[in-house]
Structure 1
């Protein structure tokens, strides 16, 4: 949905006619800030109707003209109108991906409204959208130095401490304060997700589950164990699946029939130099030990450079569209060494199921999914829903090697599979 639809611009029944009217008015009164703002709104609405980035960029430029007019002729632009034009300009810039430009507009606006907490907080959000968490942290820290009880800044500051700096203690402190404030923008599944995760990692499991249960009551999570945030809510939910329940049993049996070939290619990839082979787990899920992966498909796309080294495995996957085309999943070899513990965690979406084909399976391996336990066997495929909380222990004495294959949830329609955004 285009952002204009949430801000009252849908009240323009004929944006093309309105655009012409505001244009005529500006021809007569070039310094009319209200007419200029009306022109921006008309372009904004047209961008939504026409689904046009070009129109949206015209709207952004016109909102900026209102801001420029306020700098050049401050007496002609009432402050409430300036504020409204700037905020809409910032939101549209974010929507279009013009994050750097949005920050510059926010900085200009803060020169006019230096004590506006909301403006400062929103600049921090823009830095997060730009993947600049250090800059966001500085903004939220400055807000809290001046307004220490601001819940929005508290929860975002704690979020950055936890997710970027692995500071669970600080993250817990500030996210708890922010969520408890009930302030607008604090009741978000991401904050409940990461606060609970930090609590679990600090050994406060009971407290974490109480928080998750509150999240379920608020509609933020599907259940206390199924805490994925990018969901299609109607999909069947259970921690473990039989091959037959997935309707993909023929593909899984083909993997099982070829498991020795797949294992051979996995071991050959494992012998590659580090720069060409397996990479350390990169999602900060590992508590102890050593855990690496070799990715061959990601977000529905084949990683050609790696498939050259594992051609038969890639060919098997490529022959099955629900795996090769799963935009919300991966296919990868995974090696785990003795002494490894993977934190309890949940995947990002309920739109996929995760299959594991055992290739090297020593004794001493444990997988918990929700409240059920599972393990691996060489040459066998197990299937579970990784949007459910799961945890892994390797208490054996030799490496575990598996092939992980994500597949679309079987209840998704073809239209949904095509339209869902990649993860």
Structure 2
């Protein structure tokens, strides 16, 4: 269910900049919640969660790229990671993913089996937390990658008293920019995901994909 990150050289290249990326991440933590076209974190899929925290904010992401669509304000605020991201055009999605204390992301499946998902531990508290993919469970570790197929049923939980944050990246397993662009467009054409449809219509998503970035006036 999990893959060796060493098979994918870009993971080592990102790891080499880990301390600088973490410094950039730490600067984002005090940002106020704003509209999605601003430099901000955004609440993710409350219907996927159980939490003692506000469900709309228990799982938050700081998006750099989402299915091939660049989030320029967040990229501009984190230039070290964003420069790296430009070097890897086979990446479909990249974001910091924050799970608040006592939060459980319920079992679900991702959009496609044509990309792999990777998590790099940025803030990993001690205690009961982890991720199950299929019948295999792992725990995150700071400065280490977990790579898996998120089209397989998976769930994640943080039952500690502190936040858990990972850098999450979806990428083409053959490291092909051409293939990943095709997959991104395919996902955007087919999705009926409620969270995405609440943000914009499928037509808008496809227009943003064609332009390569989100508008600054969402």
Cα RMSD, aligned residues only: 1.8
Quote the residue 2:107 is aligned against. Answer: 344
Contact 1:334 1:403 in 2 (8 A): yes
DSSP 3-state at the match of 1:292: strand
Structure 1 residues 413 and 362: alpha-carbon distance in aligned structure 2, compared to 1, 3 A threshold = closer
Quote the residue 1:258 is aligned against. Answer: 17
Number of aligned residues: 176
DSSP 3-state at the match of 1:308: helix
**1:332 and 2:95 matched:** yes
| Structure of higher CA gyration radius | 1
**1:317 and 2:80 matched:** no
Quote the residue 2:5 is aligned against. Answer: 243
- Per-residue Cα deviation, 1:372-408 (whole angstroms, up to 9, x for no partner): 0111111111101100111111111211111101101
- Looking at structure 1, the residues matched to 166 and 12 of structure 2 have their Cα atoms a distance apart, in angstroms, of 15
- Looking at structure 1, the residues matched to 33 and 123 of structure 2 have their Cα atoms a distance apart, in angstroms, of 20
Deviation at 1:300, TM superposition (A): 1.3
- Looking at structure 2, the residues matched to 413 and 291 of structure 1 have their Cα atoms a distance apart, in angstroms, of 30
Contact 1:265 1:310 in 2 (8 A): yes
Quote the residue 1:405 is aligned against. Answer: 169
- Looking at structure 1, the residues matched to 181 and 153 of structure 2 have their Cα atoms a distance apart, in angstroms, of 27
- Looking at structure 1, the residues matched to 169 and 97 of structure 2 have their Cα atoms a distance apart, in angstroms, of 11
Equivalences for 1:15-94 in 2 at 5 Å? none
**1:371 and 2:139 matched:** no
- Looking at structure 2, the residues matched to 346 and 356 of structure 1 have their Cα atoms a distance apart, in angstroms, of 16
Higher helix share: 1
Contact 1:292 1:335 in 2 (8 A): yes
Greater relative CO, 1 or 2 (CA 8 Å, sep 6+): 2
- Per-residue Cα deviation, 1:344-376 (whole angstroms, up to 9, x for no partner): 000010011011111110012111110001111
DSSP 3-state at the match of 2:106: strand
Mind listing any 5+ residue stretches in structure 2 that lack a counterpart?
A: 188-218
Deviation at 1:281, TM superposition (A): 0.7
Structure 1 residues 265 and 348: alpha-carbon distance in aligned structure 2, compared to 1, 3 A threshold = same
Quote the residue 2:30 is aligned against. Answer: 271
